[in-house]
Amino acid sequence: MTARLLIVGPQGSGKGTQGVRVGEALGVPVVSTGDVFRANVSQGTDLGRQVKSIIDAGDLVPDELTSAVVRDRLSQADAAEGFLLDGYPRNLAQVMHLDEFLEGRDEKLDAVIALVVPREESLARLTARATEQGRADDTEEAIATRLGIYERETAPILSVYGTRGIVDEIDGVGGLDEITARIFAALEARGLRPAR
Ligand code: ADP
């Protein structure tokens, strides 16, 4: 079965954790732009050097660069039968880039999982994560920048995908397993079942 999915949610919504669970269950690779950038930063690649200060400040890496990274990744063999995108697209220009790329392959997204978490809850989770993981972009300032970008630039992509009828809004408050179960229920309603 093929499944081409996108998971969207504000910072601290748990989209990374849920994305990995869903990708594993469906047997598709998870493509997280944040993870790709962080790996490049820690390995000190050219790309890593280009994006480090942008990421640390909580700003968006330029669309062209990000879209090129995603096109490369989705062109690898393991993504031929499906993928789960986490963190891309996150603005309207990137939606257009992805549309163009997928159209060229005669593919389209099957579903967009939108995790809904109130701002106070995501802020509390981010603050907790900041102490646990010490991510360079989990400073108070960078968090505010990222949440602002989410509200201004990323949330509007849900209206675009909404008009295509592919958005599943999932309540992101609750236990991890509970939330995973909600996502699977929504995907199953679209005929997308975990391979067990
Ligand atoms: P979060 O969702 O918590 O901000 P991510 O791991 O998804 O964390 O992304 C970390 C950073 O990587 C972002 O703040 C941004 O600098 C960069 N990044 C990730 N995805 C994109 C994207 N689609 N476009 C531009 N920059 C991105």
Q: Is 21 a catalytic residue?
A: no
Given this model, what pLDDT does residue 136 score? 85
Residue 195 scores a pLDDT above 80? no
Decide if 15 is catalytic. Answer: yes
Fold held by 3-189: Rossmann fold (3.40.50)
Q: What pLDDT, on the 0 to 100 scale, is given for residue 1?
A: 72
Identify the bridge partners of residue 114 per DSSP, sorted by sequence position: 8, 169
Catalytic residue among 21, 38, 73, 90: 90
| Residue 127: predicted pLDDT | 85
Q: Which of 4, 15, 21, 182 is catalytic?
A: 15
Q: What is the mean pLDDT of the chain?
A: 95
CA 159 to chain CA centroid, nearest Å? 16
Mean pLDDT over 88-117 rounds to 98
Cα of 87 vs centre of ligand 1, distance in Å, is 6
pLDDT of residue 132: 86
pLDDT tens digits, one per residue of 36-94 = 999 999 999 999 999 999 999 999 999 999 999 999 999 999 999 999 999 999 999 99
pLDDT one-digit tens code per residue, 18-30: 999 999 999 999 9
Q: How far apart are CA 3 and CA 188, in angstroms?
A: 11
Q: Considering the chain, what percentage of its residues have pLDDT values greater than 90? A: 84
Ligand 1 neighbours (beta carbon < 6 A): 11, 33-34, 37, 54-55, 58-61, 66, 87-88, 90, 94, 137, 146
Res 130: pLDDT? 81
Nearest CA to ligand 1 atom 2: 11
Instruction: Say whether 182 is catalytic.
Output: no
> Using CA atoms in the order 172, 169, 33, 181, what is the torsion angle rounded to 10 degrees?
60
Q: Which of 61, 58, 56, 59 is nearest to 136 (CA)?
A: 56
∠ CA 62-66-69, nearest 5°, is: 150
Ligand 1 center to residue 165 CA distance, Å?
A: 25
Closest alpha carbon to 36 in 84, 76, 86, 75: 86
Query: How does residue 196 score in pLDDT terms, banded at 50, 70 and 90?
Result: low
Q: How many Å apart are CA 128 and CA 132, to the nearest integer?
A: 6
Q: Residue ranges of the alpha helices (H) in the chain?
A: 15-26, 33-43, 46-57, 63-74, 92-104, 119-133, 140-149, 157-163, 176-189
d(CA 162, CA 159): 5
CA distance 84 to 107: 14
